Amino acid sequence: MNIPAVSVNDLPDDAVILDVREQDEWDAGHAPGAVHIPLAELPSRLDELPETDEATLAVVCRGGGRSSRAVAWLSQQGFDVANLDGGMKAWQGAGKQLVAESGAATVK
């Protein structure tokens, strides 16, 4: 299956994205417009998927593996989604904003 992808450079800093990482990864640092639903909880939390101004919802994890699985599954459910190339590591590498409840944000 071909997994649709979107480049970090194609997303605005305040883009609404779905973050499927684990809680500790989310707590360490995430995109300001992200919605957190861990991959394992996705099937039971579909009603929490964010609405976006863009046609396609970007999905992210740390490096792209879990989010590509999420995109494949969500696509099969009829959602318009794309994997964020390179994950949160690429987001941070592109100098995009990170936020964390603890103050000092990093990609874990």
Which residues form the catalytic set? 61
Scanning the chain, the segments in alpha helix (DSSP H) are 23-28, 65-76, 87-93
Closest CA to 55 of 8, 16, 108: 16
- Residue 14, classified by CB atoms within 10 Å of its CB into exposed (0-12), middle (13-18) or buried (19+), is exposed
